[in-house]
Structure 1
Amino acid sequence: MYKLAICDDEKSSAAEAAELLEKYKKLHPEQEFEVDIFYSSLDMLEGLEKKVYDIFLLDIYIDKINGIELADIILKNNDDARIIFMTSSNAFYKEAFRIHAVHYLEKPILEEEFFDAFDRVCTEREELHYLTFRDSGQIHKVLVDSILYIESEDHYKRIVTDNDNFLIRSTMQMLADELDYPYFYPLGVKSVINLKKVLKITKDTVLMEDGKKFSVPRGTYRTLSELVLKFTF
């Protein structure tokens, strides 16, 4: 699932980009997008306080804060964001190159070029899977395969990886939706483990690579042990 933000002060241009995306999705049904549209840079900045986006379609000439400046702000907090510029002029081409934009689409946007830009983004992301989230006001991106387990701590969830851990405000369901991979297994409602990171399993406990132990829910040992064998060998 890609989280995409479109920012253009011209509603017709934003609608055109959204329409092209719908055409792209029909050709690539395996790719899923969650899209938000903003009509000003300030609205876009407010949106960044509420959600972490993977891809940005930015008009260059927006308002007081142009698309280049907006991209700089985005990348300071999330250097993994992928930027695609849309503009009626090539005046900012060098600036777009400095930012390492995925593409610089000149309006009216050609369908072929739009598709090419999204092919680049999706191909890059297919090789490695990441979980992106906000912790203590900073954007973090961790490899999905590096996550050992997630534990619920009241309204917060602790994400433990090979080398670090993060405490974020989220629901287990939201994280489960993001980690829609067969090797993540829920142990009840308060924890999810990565079956690839299980060191040992008995009828009573699951031992993770970092030494953490979880109780095996009643009646699940056989299924769980078979899954551990499947994903660790």
Structure 2
Amino acid sequence: MRIAICDDEEKYRQDIRNRIDKLCNSLDIIVDSYSDGRELIKSFEKNPYDMVFLDIEMPAMDGITLARKLRAISEGLSIVFLTGHVEYALTGYEVNALRYLTKPVDPDKLKEVLRYVSDRMKKGQQLLIREEGEEILLDIGRILYLEAQNQYIRISTDNGDHLVRYNISDYEKELAQYGFFRIHRSYIVSLRRVKKLGKAEVITDRDDRLPVSRGNMQALKEALYAYVDSESI
């Protein structure tokens, strides 16, 4: 998840960033801070964010105006306003604001909104593959693992297997943001589907046994711990 914080006061930017870092796994969440909405728009146009925290009262460009501009770029953006003024709430409806948080931000309310956005994003995660000339969308949550077989990749899902011509290293990069980890030169596993970690293997929640390279075991343990922490938001 990519998150942006825009507030003209550094203490509030840093406060929210610190709280997000404590609640979330930094490997899965990227947080950028901006003091000026115009700079945020420039960055957003090049690489959109999934969620933004916007201070309503800023000198160069107020949060409501900034939200309108960002919403015009991305309909799916989750917008959270930072304010101490309840009267702004009605204005936020026109940009479909997700929530209003008062400053300083309450940790429990921040945790709640992060969890909501995270869950909403997971429901919409899909992987586009091409199998035998046909394009298919796979629900990422239903993928257990990927296995390299010569010039092909076997994608094992709850609904069956798919064989696609692709490079496993490219899938490693593409799926890392969704909690997938390269455990072996020939295998990538979904961390959310790992049930047990053995001496030299992982066991999925479907009881698949997949080999883990000796050199990857420690990194896998760290990735699993980090993933569990991120899921406990």
SS in 2 for 1:91: helix
- Kindly indicate whether residue 129 of structure 2 is the aligned counterpart of residue 148 of structure 1: yes
Residues 53, 185 of structure 1: alpha-carbon distance in 2 compared, 3 angstrom cutoff: farther
Aligned CA RMSD, in angstroms, stands at: 3.9
- Kindly indicate whether residue 39 of structure 2 is the aligned counterpart of residue 38 of structure 1: no
Runs of 4+ deviating beyond 4 Å? 160-163, 181-189, 191-201, 214-217
TM-aligned CA deviation for residue 85 of structure 1:
0.7
Higher share of residues assigned helix: 2
TM-aligned CA deviation for residue 9 of structure 1:
0.7
Q: TM-score, normalised by structure 1?
A: 0.57
Letter in 2 for 1:96: G
For structure 2, the residue ranges without an aligned partner over 5 or more in a row are 169-185, 188-205, 207-233
CA offsets 1:159-181 (integer angstroms, 9 cap, x no match) = x9559xxxxxxxxxxxxxx9xx6
| 8 Å Cα contact 1:41-1:63 kept in structure 2 | no
Identity %: 19
| 8 Å Cα contact 1:183-1:195 kept in structure 2 | yes
TM-aligned CA deviation for residue 195 of structure 1:
6.5
Residues 110, 183 of structure 1: alpha-carbon distance in 2 compared, 3 angstrom cutoff: same
For structure 1, the residue ranges without an aligned partner over 5 or more in a row are 130-143, 151-159, 164-177, 207-213, 218-222, 225-229
- Kindly indicate whether residue 55 of structure 2 is the aligned counterpart of residue 56 of structure 1: no
Q: Which residue of structure 2 lines up, in the alignment, with residue 166 of structure 1?
A: none
| More relative contact order, 1 or 2 (CA 8 Å, 6+ apart) | 2
**Aligned positions of 1:4-19 closer than 5 A:** 4-19=3-18
TM-aligned CA deviation for residue 113 of structure 1:
1.5
- Kindly indicate whether residue 61 of structure 2 is the aligned counterpart of residue 65 of structure 1: yes
Q: TM-score, normalised by structure 2?
A: 0.57
TM-aligned CA deviation for residue 128 of structure 1:
2.6
User: 2-side partners of 1:35 and 1:92: how far apart?
Assistant: 25
| Number of equivalenced pairs | 166
TM-aligned CA deviation for residue 125 of structure 1:
1.9
CA offsets 1:81-123 (integer angstroms, 9 cap, x no match) = 1011111222311012332222100112211221121121112
Q: Which residue of structure 2 lines up, in the alignment, with residue 174 of structure 1?
A: none
Q: Which residue of structure 2 lines up, in the alignment, with residue 24 of structure 1?
A: 23
TM-aligned CA deviation for residue 66 of structure 1:
1.2
Letter in 2 for 1:148: I
